[in-house]
Amino acid sequence: MPSPTYLLIDDDADDLEIFGLALQDTRLEYHFVTAGNALEALDLFRDAHFLPAYIFLDLNMPMKTGKEFLTEIKSSEKLRHIPVIIYTTSSHPNDVGETERLGAAHYLVKPSSIDSLTRILVKLFNKQPLPYFLTEEIKDLVM
Amino acid sequence: MSKSTAGKNIENPYHKMIEEVQDYAILMLDKDGNILNWNLGAEKIKGYQEAEIIGKNFRIFYKDEDRANKLPERLIAEATTHGRAMHEGWRVRKNKERFWGSIVITALHNENNEVIGFTKVTRDLTERKLAEEQLKQNTKELEFRNRELEQFVYIASHDLQEPLRKIQVFSGLIEKNLDDKESAARFLERINAAAKRMSILIKDVLQYSKLSKGEGLEVPVDLNTVLKGALEDFDLLIEQRKAVVNFVPLPVIMGIPIQLHQLFTNLLSNAIKFSKENPSIEISTASVSGQEIENAGLSPDKSYVKIIFKDQGIGFDPKYKEDIFKFFKRLQDIEPGTGIGLALCKKIVENHDGHISVISQPNQGTTFHIILPTLFN
């Protein structure tokens, strides 16, 4: 089986790098693809063979917001089954509730250490049962 | 006063009672509204002596515009038809001062049920009215502060978290890579950048929260001088970007000079920043219609002027026309601003009892409409 592709959509260069480092630390096999904004990501999907296993999506981006992108993905017959994980700094309750209604799989608050992010990603990729709202403050997530 | 003493000392105690009531103006009008008698309350509330007012028409107590709209005549007509008319509104004292009057006009009939005149009772409710208006004003102010607080909560939960989180992540990485000097130096650089951004954000938030409504600080401000100052601030940038700024003579308004300077510099810098080449900016003025005043939710008692900042820049999707005035809302990622400029503009305009709005289309430029009260209010 070919290794899975993970797509991260984020306009923040630091966060693209941080996420890449956390993925490396999982010691799993994967392809990591990044897009600097939602329009770039939509361009990637023009290639019919591009089907990531997970999409990690920042909310606060110029041009097209994460919520708008999420709505589009969920209305596409072909792409709606790809789990979308919101990946953002905001832990505002409005954003958490709204994205769940829009069909996101999880809401991951950007952690303050690479190790926490790596641990959460490993659990996610191993398909362990996880709550919708994921933060490093939930103890059993980062153990 | 007991009935027995009244009976002894005063021939017409009922008449006397009316005459001496101080808290109500109680008068009789003939069927055309001419004043037939006067009491102490009327003198106190309206300011006229009995001798100078008897025989005058009660229209004299009404404001010019109410007289033009025939309000007194309509009240008389209503009392004639329905037996009674009630009204509350601003009335005019002899010394031209206004008072908030609550009035009841009651028709008087003869044996044949014909109207022969009216009684008119007026209470002065100015203090209550002013207290109500103060309360309304306070509520509005409170709602405004509340919205601001919500924005601050959002900032705290998002924008201020972001640089802090990066500092934590990168210092964790340095800890792991202590032996790798090259990586450590790179991560330290990121930490410094994040700390710097944090510091700018905090300064901006403080600057915003310090922008207070300058009660008593308002002076007549010549907007031509303000514009000149703002253009001087940018002369280097204007030269570099080969920007053209055209403007018409601007009015003088009541305002806080430093805030208006900030308003103009923010709008100018936006127009230059969000233009691709040779920015072209037009500043003009226009009159403001009653409908616009109502739509903007401004007080209808004032007169206004509109100042228009129009650029030929990159524009934006009109669905963001409310969002761009919020804190840290950056639509374009082309420059490192903190996204506070237009939030400042909005607060400044609101401090001046005005209204700011924007019209834009991608690649078709952006136009800001700033409505401000004129000097003569």
Q: Is the pLDDT of residue A21 over 60?
A: yes
Q: Is the pLDDT of residue B5 over 60?
A: no
Contacts of B169 in chain A (CB under 8 A): 18, 111-114
The phi-psi region of residue B179 (left if phi > 0; otherwise alpha if psi is between -120 and 50; otherwise beta) is alpha
Place of tokens 């999982």: A26
Nearest one of B351, B204, B144, B146 to B263, comparing CA atoms: B351
Tens digit of each residue's pLDDT (9 = 90 or more) over A36-91: 999 999 999 999 899 999 999 998 887 788 999 999 999 999 999 999 999 998 77
**CA B285 to centroid of chain Cα atoms:** 20
Q: What angle do CA A42, A47, A51 make, to 5 degrees?
A: 80
Q: Is the pLDDT of residue A143 over 60?
A: no
Tell me the pLDDT band of A141, cut-offs 50, 70 and 90: low
Check residue A17 and give its pLDDT: 93
Contacts of B157 in chain A (CB under 8 A): 90-92
Tens digit of each residue's pLDDT (9 = 90 or more) over A121-136: 999 999 999 999 998 8
How far is B214 from B256, CA to CA, in rounded Å?
7
Q: What single-letter amino acid sits at B169?
A: V
Tens digit of each residue's pLDDT (9 = 90 or more) over B315-373: 888 888 887 887 665 555 444 455 678 888 998 998 899 999 999 988 889 999 999 99
How far is B43 from B50, CA to CA, in rounded Å?
7
B361 phi and psi, to 5 degrees?
Answer: -145, 145
- pTM assigned to the model: 0.61
B15 phi and psi, to 5 degrees?
Answer: -60, -45
Check residue B334 and give its pLDDT: 44
Q: Is the pLDDT of residue A117 over 70?
A: yes
Check residue B310 and give its pLDDT: 94
Check residue B51 and give its pLDDT: 92
Could you tell me which chain A residue has the CA closest to the CA of B161? Answer: A89
Q: Which residues contact B2 (CB under 8 A, 6 or more apart)?
A: none
Query: Are the Cβ atoms of B166 and A92 closer than 8 angstroms?
Result: no
**DSSP-derived 3-state class of residue A29:** coil
Q: What angle do CA B214, B218, B224 make, to 5 degrees?
A: 125
Tens digit of each residue's pLDDT (9 = 90 or more) over B262-317: 899 989 988 888 888 889 999 999 999 989 998 998 988 889 999 999 998 888 88
C-alpha distance from A9 to closest chain B C-alpha (Å): 15
Tens digit of each residue's pLDDT (9 = 90 or more) over B156-195: 767 788 889 999 999 999 998 888 999 899 999 999 988 9
How many contacts (CB atoms, under 8 Å) link A and B? 44
Tell me the pLDDT band of B3, cut-offs 50, 70 and 90: very low
C-alpha distance from A24 to closest chain B C-alpha (Å): 13
Residue % of chain B over a pLDDT of 70? 91
Nearest one of B375, B376, B372 to B286, comparing CA atoms: B372
Helices (H), chain B: 3-9, 13-20, 40-46, 50-53, 64-68, 71-82, 126-157, 161-176, 181-210, 223-233, 235-240, 257-273, 290-295, 341-351
Nearest one of B169, B191, B188, B170 to A113, comparing CA atoms: B169
Query: Are the Cβ atoms of A37 and B333 closer than 8 angstroms?
Result: yes
Could you tell me which chain A residue has the CA closest to the CA of B334? Answer: A62
Check residue B214 and give its pLDDT: 61
How far is B82 from B373, CA to CA, in rounded Å?
43
